[in-house]
A and B are shown apart, each in its own frame.
Chain A
Amino acid sequence: MDGILLGLETALQPTNILICLLGVTLGTAVGVLPGIGPTATVALLLPITFEFDPVASLIMLAGIYYGAQYGGSTTAILLNLPGESSSVVTALDGHQMARQGRAGPALATAALGSFFAGTVGTIVLALFAPPLAQLALKFGPADYFAIVVLGLIASIALASGSAVKALAMIVLGLLLGTIGQDQFTGVPRFTFGVRELYGGLDFVSLAVGLFGLAEIIRNLETKNSSSIVTKKVEGLWLSKDDFRRIRNPVLRGTALGSVLGVLPGGGHVLASFTSYSVEKNLSKEPKKFGTGVIEGVAAPESANNAAAQTSFIPLLSLGLPAHPVMALLVGAFIIQGITPGPNVINDEPELVWGLIASMWVGNLLLVALNLPLIGIWVKMLSVPYEVMFPAIIAFASIGCYSLGLNSWDVFAIAAAGVVGYFLIRWGCEAAPLLLGFVLGPLLEENLRRAMIISRGDPTVFLTRPISASLLILAALIIIIAVLPSVRRKREVVFQGEDD
Chain B
Amino acid sequence: MSTDHTVVDGAGHRPAPFRPDLYAGAAFVVLGLAFAIGGSRYDVGSALRMGSGYVPLALGGLLVVLGLLVVAMGFRGGDPSIRDVQREPIPWRRGGLLVAAIMFFGFFVSGLGLGPTLFVTTFIAAMAGHGTSPLKAALTAAGITALCLVVFVALLQLRLPLLGDWLGG
Chains A and B belong together in one complex: yes
Residues in A neighbouring B130, C-beta threshold 8 A: 220, 223-224, 386
Mark out the residues of chain A between 136 and 165 whose CB falls within 8 Å of any chain B CB in the assembled complex: 160-165
Docked CA distance A272–B28 (Å): 32
B125 lies within 8 A of A164 (CB): no
Q: How distant is the Cα of A387 from the Cα of B144 in the complex, in angstroms?
A: 8
Q: B148 to chain A: which residues have CB within 8 Å?
A: 391, 394-395, 398
Interface size class of B (residues with CB under 8 A): 35 or more
In the bound complex, CA of A210 to CA of B114 (Å): 24
> Cβ of A386: which chain B residues have Cβ within 8 Å of it?
126, 129-132, 136, 140
Cα separation A220 to B39 with both chains bound (whole Å): 37
In the bound complex, what is the Cα–Cα distance between A411 and B101 (angstroms)? 10
**Cross-chain contact B94 with A220 (CB below 8 angstroms):** yes
A117 at the interface (CB under 8 A from B): no
> What residues of A have a CB within 8 angstroms of the CB of B167 in the complex?
none
CA distance A402 to B51 in the complex (A): 35
- State A428–B26 Cα separation when bound (angstroms): 13
Q: Are B79 and A161 interface neighbours, CB within 8 A?
A: yes
Q: What is the interface of chain A, defined by CB distance below 8 A to chain B? A: 48, 51, 160-165, 167-168, 171-172, 174-175, 178, 182, 184-185, 187, 189-190, 213, 216-217, 220-224, 385-387, 389-391, 393-398, 401-402, 405, 407-408, 410-411, 413-414, 417-418, 421-423, 425-428, 444, 447-448, 451-452, 455-456, 458, 482, 484, 487-488, 491
* Contact for A385 among B82, B110, B129, CB less than 8 A: B129
- Which residues from chain A contact B63 at a C-beta distance below 8 Å? 168, 171-172, 175
Specify the chain A residue showing the minimal Cβ separation from B141: A390
- The verdict on A458 contacting B160 (CB below 8 Å), with A164-B1, A168-B70, A422-B23 known, is no
17 pairs, A vs B, C-beta closer than 8 Å: A162-B2, A164-B66, A165-B24, A165-B79, A171-B66, A175-B59, A187-B43, A190-B38, A220-B94, A386-B136, A390-B101, A397-B109, A405-B160, A426-B20, A427-B24, A427-B79, A488-B4
Q: Which residues of B contact A428 (CB under 8 A)?
A: 24
Q: Could you tell me which residues of chain B, from 47 to 63, have a CB within 8 Å of some CB in chain A?
A: 47-56, 59-60, 62-63
- Closest 5 A/B residue pairs (Cβ): A456-B48, A410-B106, A386-B129, A426-B24, A427-B82
Assembled-state Cα–Cα distance A174/B94 (Å): 31
Interface of A is mostly: helix
Say yes or no for B15: interface residue by CB 8 A criterion. Answer: no
Whether a CB of chain A sits under 8 angstroms from the CB of B158 is yes
Contact of A413 among B39, B47, B102, B160 (CB under 8 A): B102
Query: Is there contact, CB below 8 Å, between B48 and A189?
Result: no
Determine if A444 and B95 form an interchain contact, defined as CB atoms under 8 angstroms apart. no
CB pair B52 A484 closer than 8 Å = no
- Chain A residue numbers with a CB within 8 Å of B20 are 425-427
B48 and A452 contact, CB distance less than 8 A: yes
CB distance from A305 to the nearest CB of B (A): 27
CB-CB under 8 A from A484, the residues of chain B are 2-4
Interface flags for B15-27 (1: CB within 8 Å of A; 0: not) read: 0000011011001
Specify which of B50, B66, B118, B158 is in contact with A394 (CB 8 Å cutoff): B118
B89 within 8 A of A: yes
- The smallest beta-carbon distance between A16 and chain B, in angstroms, is 18
Known contacts A172-B63, A221-B90, A484-B4: A189-B42 contact under CB 8 Å? yes
**Residue of A171, A408, A410 ringed by the most chain B CB atoms within 10 A:** A171
| Residues of chain A within 8 A of B113, CB atoms compared | none
Residues of chain A lying within 8 A (CB to CB) of residue B59? 171, 174-175, 178
Q: How far is the CA of A426 from the CA of B87 in the complex (A)?
A: 10
Once bound together, how far apart are the Cα atoms of A393 and B125, in whole Å? 7
Do the beta carbons of B126 and A187 come within 8 Å of each other? no
